[in-house]
Amino acid sequence: MTDAALPQKRYATAADYLNLMKPRIMMLVVFTGFAGLVAASGMTGITMHPAMAAIATLAVALGSGAAGAINMWYDSDIDAVMTRTSTRPIPSGAVPREEALALGLIMSGVSVMLMWLASNWLAAGLLAFSIFYYGVIYTMWLKRATPQNIVIGGGAGAFPPVIGWAAVTGNTPLDAWILFAIIFFWTPPHFWALSLLAHKEYAKVSVPMLPVTHGARVTRQQILIYTLVLVPVSLLPLATGLGGWIYGAAALGLGATFLAYAIRLVRSDAGDATSTGAGMKLARNTFVFSILYLFALFGAVLVEHAAGLHFPLTGT
Amino acid sequence: MAETPDTAAPQLDAEALKARKRRNLWLGLALAAFVVLVMITTVIRLNTGIGVSERM
């Protein structure tokens, strides 16, 4: 969409620039990145200078914000059409497109540089790649090309704990990639629950989200399948010693609840043209619970390793 | 007859000027924060020796 079609309706405030960075996604990214950083310290005994750890965490936040700004720059045409996204800074006319792109590119450079200064080239390189993954591979290529957009694109959001781990140790062992896998398999059921609610909007702008291309029934089945994969993957930290008793209890309880939501969803009419309010409410509740699930699961990792409560079930 | 090029800057209203001033302030603060963060990492690296050898 051209700038002429996006008239400057009002002057941007600091909140507009903050919203450009997708702060809610940023919170999840920072939280999981920090959990990876703390878990790496807990597992290896390698400590990071507190100020360096804080700057590395800030770099992850800035990198996430940069990717968000690039995403909003590229997607401003479809954002303007969809009701859910029409109030975002660019379609609302508060921030010009080119400013969003400039902000995204500058912040990308600054975040990668800060990560390198605070930790090492591996963490900086992974951060750079994750920004590229979200901003280019997912946003510019996958999102409008395939119903698997969320599955493959989910990799971008799964990088933060690996980056946090690399920042501390300078390498990425199996435990870091297990944390990656948890977020990777969590993303499809999380996002598809939302897309059951918003599939008409995606259809309006021809974005091939799964409910648009394959229908709500297939989407509900896929949510269940990915949740069935996610639950055992979330238990892998127990086998490697990364997760202890607290994590185990959390993973079992949260996994069982997530699975219960997915089973109820597959038996519901959520997303169907004839859907009742109850089905849509269930999809919304599943989406909200999925956010809580990830926060709580990584919160358990954080608590165990930061508070000295890590009692693994197996020897490490 | 040759036309005189219009070189006058566009006139901004009070609200636009205020918004521009606010943006400039945030940019200035962000730049200062970046400088401070680079300084902190440099001081810590020099004091602890982290990462000094592999970059030299």
Return the structure tokens found at A283: 């999809």
Q: How many C-beta neighbours within 10 Å does residue A157 have?
A: 26
- Top residue of A117, A120, A122 to mutate, by most chain B CBs within 10 Å, is A117
pLDDT score of A1? 46
Compute the nearest-CA separation of A118 from chain B (Å): 6
pLDDT score of A109? 97
pLDDT score of A7? 52
CATH, range A1-172? 1.10.357.140
pLDDT mean across residues, chain A: 92
Radius of gyration of chain A (CA): 20
pLDDT exceeds 90 at position A274 = no
The phi and psi torsions of A145 (rounded to 5 degrees) equal -110, -30
The pLDDT > 70 percentage for chain A reads 97
3-state secondary structure of A312: strand
- Tell me the H-state helices in chain A: 14-20, 23-44, 50-74, 76-81, 97-118, 121-132, 149-158, 160-169, 174-204, 210-213, 215-240, 245-266, 277-306
- In this predicted model, what pLDDT tens digit does every residue of A97-124 receive, in sequence order? 999 999 999 999 999 999 999 999 999 9
pLDDT exceeds 90 at position A271 = no
Closest CA to A23 of A64, A53, A55: A64
pLDDT score of A315? 55
Query: What average pLDDT score do residues A163-186 get?
Result: 97
Q: How many C-beta neighbours within 10 Å does residue A71 have?
A: 25
The phi and psi torsions of A133 (rounded to 5 degrees) equal -60, -50
Among A17, A52, A58, select the one facing B44 at the smallest CB separation: A52
Q: How many C-beta neighbours within 10 Å does residue A231 have?
A: 18
In this structure, what DSSP letter does residue A61 have?
A: H
Closest CA to A155 of A261, A67, A243, A225: A67
Closest CA to A123 of A59, A51, A65, A181: A59
Q: Which band of pLDDT confidence, cut at 50, 70 and 90, is reported for residue A69?
A: very high
pLDDT score of A4? 46
Q: Is B16 on the interface with A (CB under 8 A)?
A: yes
Q: Where are the domains of chain B?
A: 15-49
Please say whether the beta carbons of A293 and A226 come within 8 A: no
Burial of B32 (0-12, 13-18, 19+ CB in 10 A): exposed
Whether the predicted interface score ipTM is above 0.85: no
pLDDT exceeds 70 at position B7 = no
Return the structure tokens found at A77: 């045409």
**A chain contacts of residue B48, beta-carbon cutoff 8 Å:** 49
Compute the nearest-CA separation of A265 from chain B (Å): 46
SS3 of chain B: helix, strand, coil, percent, to 5: 70, 0, 30
- In this predicted model, what pLDDT tens digit does every residue of B22-48 receive, in sequence order? 888 988 999 999 999 999 999 999 988
Displacement of CA A51 from its chain's centroid (Å): 25
What are A's interface residues with B at a Cβ cutoff of 8 A?
Answer: 11-14, 17, 49, 51-52, 55, 58, 110, 114, 117-118, 120
pLDDT score of B28? 93
pLDDT exceeds 90 at position B55 = no
pLDDT score of B35? 95
Query: What average pLDDT score do residues A264-276 get?
Result: 88
For tokens 């939280």, name the residue. Answer: A31
What does the longest C-alpha to C-alpha distance in chain A come to? 63
Which residues, other chains included, contact A265 with Cβ-Cβ below 8 Å and sequence gap of 6+? A193, A196, A220, A223, A224, A282, A283, A286
Q: Which of A15-24, A54-63, A90-99 has the highest mean pLDDT?
A: A54-63
CB contact under 8 A, A117 and B34: no
Burial of A98 (0-12, 13-18, 19+ CB in 10 A): exposed
- In this predicted model, what pLDDT tens digit does every residue of A243-262 receive, in sequence order? 999 999 999 999 999 999 99
In this structure, what DSSP letter does residue A6 have?
A: S
pLDDT score of A2? 47
Poorest-pLDDT segment among A110-114, A253-257, A287-291, B9-13: B9-13
Radius of gyration of chain B (CA): 23
Report helix angle A121-132 to A97-118, nearest 10.
160
CB contact under 8 A, A114 and B22: no
Chains A, B: CB contacts within 8 A come to 35
Paired residues of A244 in beta bridges: A312
